[in-house]
Amino acid sequence: MSLPPVGLPHLIGLSGILFVIGLVGVLTRRNILLILLSLELILNAANLAFVAFSRAHGDLSGQIMVFFVMIVAAAEVTVGLAITVLLSRLAGKLNADEMRNLKW
């Protein structure tokens, strides 16, 4: 028994589900690290959609766009984690609600 092939609707559906999970995580979580993790999930959902459409249309432009999104994601992780470590050292907490004004 063989499985049916994975098509464009399946990949776009999975991308949409990942995007919604990431969006809910950004909107509901208060921990800065979990917010950054949810942002990464949103970027990965966009990458999956780019690759799916690129595969469906037979060109490489979507995969080139994924390369640039990965660069932005790496920069976001680097800067975001540096800011998070600095804030946790200064404030001793990682709750986004408590650091709203960035005044201690």
Q: What does each of the 104 residues of the chain score in pLDDT, given as a tens digit?
A: 787 888 899 999 999 999 999 999 999 988 888 998 999 999 999 999 999 999 999 899 989 999 999 998 999 889 988 988 888 887 777 787 777 666 65
Q: Note the pLDDT tens digit of each residue in 24-33.
A: 999 998 888 8
Residues linked to residue 31 through DSSP beta bridges, in sequence order: 95
CA distance 98 to 89: 14
Instruction: Mention the CATH class of domain 9-91.
Output: mainly alpha
Question: What's the pLDDT at 92?
Answer: 76
Question: What's the pLDDT at 90?
Answer: 78
Please report, for the chain, the start and end positions of each structural domain, with discontinuous segments joined by +.
9-91
Cα 100 from chain centroid (whole Å): 22
